[in-house]
């Protein structure tokens, strides 16, 4: 969709506000041509000495009243229109967020957060201006231009009008040329603002790392450089926009000179009164606004178009997470993986290569292996964050793809390897997937995750704000919030991705014991490095480089004397050293 189509459809939907504004603008345009006419009449009456005293005062008051009317109407249309244009901003931002929410992790690897934020703020603003001010100022300017030129030619003198307006086509040409440069410069400025935003976002998010590594100076220098480049581009756009004004000034000066030359000749010949020449001069003055409006509208449209060119691809990006499934019943039955193969976009080596396994409902699967083996990737495929390139991935009687995302998500609780806390109370963070949960339910989940005592010690207990704007929790506490969150969700499949890596072995043992009770009837996948977490799993798979290296239960794996057995001995030794 082009910007014009977008704006047209928006104007169509809000025709009430636009029509009201247009009616007010017609009123303004009529008053605009009435005022010079009256002024001309006054001058002629004065020259003929027919007017004076109260009569003159009354006429002048009429002109002042007309001026005030123009002012009131101008305020009126702006209020009506801005309210409507704001709604376009709201609509666009909502569309943007909806579309972004449908994108998968691969998309966000390509797009940078800061730039996306700039799109939602700066670029949407520019489109909003194009749909609001530009449309109405364009309408206003055109209407005033047509009325003023018509009155000049028909109401005063056509020859004079034709002569005086000669410089304007040249000005229009200059406008067209300037507007092309404004477009290029605006596009540049918007891009650079996006980059600047990116750097601010990244620096703030990684502020601790920046400080710890002593990168403050370097980051500041980088920021100054980006800010400088952004200012440069913005200035270039401004410089081009500023060129409109001299073009208008030059055209007007030329027009005034021509009008005076031709006008005085006509007055000399007695074909024009002085009053008429005065009105003509005033009409020329009335053309200043349409000319400025033209320049302003052109630059608003160019900026809007540049912003739309940045926004549109994001709005039109096909959803990365396809939701074409039709099965709405929650998945149930065994999970079956058959010869699964998956490589991340742009990666030559597959992260999973020929993985097959079967997990019966109510069973617990351990997923271990060295770092980078593909454990998290396997869980991501189960969550359908990515789709496998080959092989089969089924749950119950359907392929995973057959389920609607809503059905699938309701069936899975996931504790990610890097849990995220939102800026809310710790209770709300736990109750995220079940917003209606009672405090007792939240507390029960927190107890299962061995988190209750930690929360009790926080300044406001369960109501303590955490996340970006609250108390900073330790890595292990974060993990346990995520575990409590997942347990409260109470889904048939529970995925734990390295969820116990940051807690000590005693706490791990407590959580595992609780899980053993809680997971009755639930299917659980525990991925991680620490084998103590999977020792009592029904079945454990050892992954290496995306392949299944060994599998079996704890005893069978120990008996194989392979990676698992070596790792087990090593970790036992480590634990006894720690205990000593
Ligand atoms: N988003 C991604 N894009 C490209 N490659 C990725 C991405 N995420 C992971 N990989 C690669 O895929 C492979 C498997 O990664 P994965 O995160 O599944 O390993 P893991 O077994 O969970 O490791 P860890 O124990 O360190 O958590 C690694 O080689 C990794 O570099
Ligand atoms: Mg991982």
List the domains of the chain with CATH numbers.
3-316 (1.20.1560.10), 342-579 (3.40.50.300)
Q: Which ligand 1 atom lies nearest to the CA of residue 380? A: 18
CA of 567 relative to ligand 1 center, distance in Å = 21
List, for the chain, all residue ranges whose pLDDT scores fall below the cut of 50: none
Phi, psi at residue 564, to the nearest 5°?
-60, -50
- Ligand 1 binding pocket includes 375 (Cβ within 6 Å): yes
- Ligand 1 binding pocket includes 228 (Cβ within 6 Å): no
CA of 374 relative to ligand 2 center, distance in Å = 7
User: In angstroms, what CA-CA distances link 466 with 441, 457, 469?
Assistant: 19, 14, 7
pLDDT at position 41 is 86
- Ligand 1 binding pocket includes 498 (Cβ within 6 Å): yes
- Ligand 1 binding pocket includes 353 (Cβ within 6 Å): no
CA 128 to chain centre: 14
Rounded-to-integer distance, Cα 247 and Cα 258, Å: 17
Rounded-to-integer distance, Cα 471 and Cα 453, Å: 16
Rounded-to-integer distance, Cα 301 and Cα 130, Å: 5
User: In angstroms, what CA-CA distances link 431 with 362, 391, 422, 442?
Assistant: 24, 36, 11, 6
- Ligand 1 binding pocket includes 347 (Cβ within 6 Å): yes
CA of 417 relative to ligand 2 center, distance in Å = 6
- Supply the DSSP symbol for 131: I
pLDDT at position 428 is 93
- Ligand 1 binding pocket includes 373 (Cβ within 6 Å): yes
- Ligand 1 binding pocket includes 351 (Cβ within 6 Å): yes
What residues pack around ion ligand 2 (CB closer than 5 A)?
375-376, 417
Ligand nearest to the CA of 530: 1
- Ligand 1 binding pocket includes 376 (Cβ within 6 Å): yes
Pocket test residue of 104, 351, 353, 383 for ligand 1, highest count of atoms within 8 A of CB: 351
Q: Helices 135-150 and 53-101 meet at what angle, rounded to 10?
A: 150
- Residue 299: strand, helix, or coil: helix
User: In angstroms, what CA-CA distances link 506 with 140, 322, 476, 541, 580?
Assistant: 75, 42, 13, 24, 15
Q: Which ligand 1 atom lies nearest to the CA of residue 417? A: 27
CA of 99 relative to ligand 1 center, distance in Å = 26
* Residue among 132, 239, 240, 236 nearest 190 (CA): 236
pLDDT at position 519 is 65
CA of 101 relative to ligand 1 center, distance in Å = 23
- Considering just the CA atoms, what is the radius of gyration of the chain in Å? 36
């Amino acid at each position: 969709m082009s910007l014009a189509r977008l704006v047209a459809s928006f104007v169509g939907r809000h025709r009430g506000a636009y029509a009201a504004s247009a009616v007010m603008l017609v009123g303004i345009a009529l008053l605009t041509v009435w005022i010079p006419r009256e002024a001309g009449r006054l001058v002629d009456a004065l020259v003929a000495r027919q007017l004076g005293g109260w009569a003159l005062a009354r006429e002048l008051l009429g002109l002042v009243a007309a001026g005030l009317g123009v002012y009131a109407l101008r305020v009126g249309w702006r209020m009506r229109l801005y309210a409507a244009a704001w709604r376009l901003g709201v609509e666009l931002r909502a569309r943007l967020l909806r579309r972004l929410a449908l994108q998968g992790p691969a998309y966000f690897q390509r797009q940078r957060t800061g730039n996306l934020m700039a799109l939602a703020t700066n670029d949407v603003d520019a489109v909003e201006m194009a749909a609001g001010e530009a449309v109405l100022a364009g309408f206003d300017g055109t209407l005033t231009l047509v009325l003023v030129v018509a009155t000049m030619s028909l109401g005063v003198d056509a020859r004079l009008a034709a002569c005086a307006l000669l410089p304007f086509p040249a000005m229009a040409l200059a406008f067209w040329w300037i507007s092309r440069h404004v477009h290029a410069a605006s596009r540049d400025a918007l891009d650079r603002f996006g980059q600047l935003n990116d750097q601010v976002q990244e620096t703030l998010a990684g502020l601790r790392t920046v400080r710890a590594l002593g990168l403050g100076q370097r980051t500041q220098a980088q920021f100054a450089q980006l800010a400088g480049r952004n200012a440069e581009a913005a200035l270039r756009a401004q410089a081009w926009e500023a060129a409109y004004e001299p073009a208008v000034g030059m055209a007007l000066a030329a027009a005034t000179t021509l009008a005076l030359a031709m006008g005085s000749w006509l007055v000399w010949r007695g074909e024009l009164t002085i009053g008429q020449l005065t009105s003509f001069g005033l009409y020329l003055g009335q053309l200043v606004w349409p000319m400025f409006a033209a320049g302003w509208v052109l630059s608003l449209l160019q900026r809007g178009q540049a912003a739309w060119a940045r926004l549109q691809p994001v709005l039109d990006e096909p959803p990365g997470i396809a939701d074409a499934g039709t099965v709405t019943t929650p998945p149930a039955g065994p999970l079956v993986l058959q010869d699964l193969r998956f490589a991340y976009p742009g990666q030559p080596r597959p992260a999973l290569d020929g993985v097959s396994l079967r997990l019966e409902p109510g069973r617990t699967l351990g997923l271990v292996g060295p770092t980078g083996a593909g454990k998290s990737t396997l869980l991501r495929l189960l969550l359908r964050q990515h789709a496998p390139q080959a092989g089969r991935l089924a749950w119950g009687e359907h392929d995973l793809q057959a389920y609607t995302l809503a059905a699938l998500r309701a069936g899975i609780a996931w504790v990610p390897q890097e849990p995220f806390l939102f800026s809310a109370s710790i209770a709300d963070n736990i109750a995220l997937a079940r917003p209606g949960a009672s405090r007792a339910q939240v507390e029960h989940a927190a107890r299962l995750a061995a988190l209750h005592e930690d929360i009790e010690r926080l300044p406001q207990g369960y109501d303590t704000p955490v996340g970006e704007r609250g108390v900073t929790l330790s890595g292990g506490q974060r993990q346990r919030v995520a575990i409590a969150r997942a347990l409260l969700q109470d889904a048939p499949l529970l995925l734990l991705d390295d969820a116990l890596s940051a807690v000590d072995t005693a706490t791990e043992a407590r959580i595992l014991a609780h899980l053993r009770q809680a997971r009755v009837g639930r299917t659980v996948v525990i991925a991680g490095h620490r084998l103590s977490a999977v020792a009592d799993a029904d079945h454990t798979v050892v992954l290496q480089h995306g392949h299944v290296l060994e599998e079996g239960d704890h005893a069978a794996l120990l008996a194989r004397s392979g990676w698992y057995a070596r790792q087990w001995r090593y970790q036992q030794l480590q634990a006894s050293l720690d205990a000593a």
